[in-house]
Copies of this chain bind each other. A is one copy, B any other.
Amino acid sequence: MKIAILGATGMSGQTIYQEAVDRGHDVTAFVRNEAKSKETLGDDAKLKVADVFELTTEDLTPFEVVVNALGTPRGRDMGYLHIDMAAHLIRILRNTTSPRIFFMLGAASLLDKDGHPFIDSFVKDPSSDSWIDTPLMQVHEYHFLQTVTNVNWVGISPSLSYGPGPKTGYVRNDKNQALFDSSGKPNLTSGNLATALLDEI
């Protein structure tokens, strides 16, 4: 398939890129820095150098799948970029059925065993003050996406804990209840996310 990966040099993006290439897909990495991208993805990588806010309908519709793996700078008060990037991508794809576009939503859709969004307890926890901005804005991004009925979008909430690591096998839950391993810990590696995502694609 023809797949575009936005933010292809990030932690998630580069793992997804490699998994997609390994499976023989025709993959284009959308990046901002050509030299850095060649270092990360190799000289053979097919690159499109552009800022996300400059992308147009014509840039994305040649693809069957777009994966938005764009991150935002760590720290406070930058999480709004998740909403702005999603709003721009949705706008340029209004009234299309292809590409199918994937958004990474952090923990946005994850529910606890009682069916309550985890974000509600995070917000109440005073110690979340330094990091709540990004997951909170990803929840708003998720709510925004839920208003969108004329774009073929998919949202993915990786896990309560997500970081770099190899592919070892994954469990998928479409009901949004957060998953925990046999020792009671949430755990998802970038390798397992990439595998799950490419299986879905």
Complex alpha-carbon distance, A87 and B88, angstroms? 8
A112 on the B face (CB < 8 A): no
Surface stretch bound by B, among A35-43, A139-147, A170-178: A139-147
A94 on the B face (CB < 8 A): yes
Complex alpha-carbon distance, A90 and B144, angstroms? 14
A128 on the B face (CB < 8 A): no
Q: Which residue of B lies closest to A141 (CB)?
A: B147
A77 on the B face (CB < 8 A): yes
B147/A83 in contact, CB under 8 A: yes
B80/A84 in contact, CB under 8 A: no
Report the interface size for chain A: residues with CB under 8 A from the other chain.
Answer: 17
Complex alpha-carbon distance, A79 and B74, angstroms? 34
A25 on the B face (CB < 8 A): no
Complex alpha-carbon distance, A88 and B94, angstroms? 14
Contact code string A70-94 (vs B, CB < 8 Å = 1, else 0):
0000000100100110011011001
Contact code string A122-153 (vs B, CB < 8 Å = 1, else 0):
00000000000000010010011001101000
> Across the interface, which residues of B come within 8 angstroms of A180, CB to CB?
none
Known A137-B147, A140-B144, A140-B147; judge A84-B77 contact (CB<8 A): no
Ordered nearest first, which 5 A-B pairs have the shortest CB separation? Answer: A87-B87, A140-B147, A84-B91, A144-B144, A80-B94
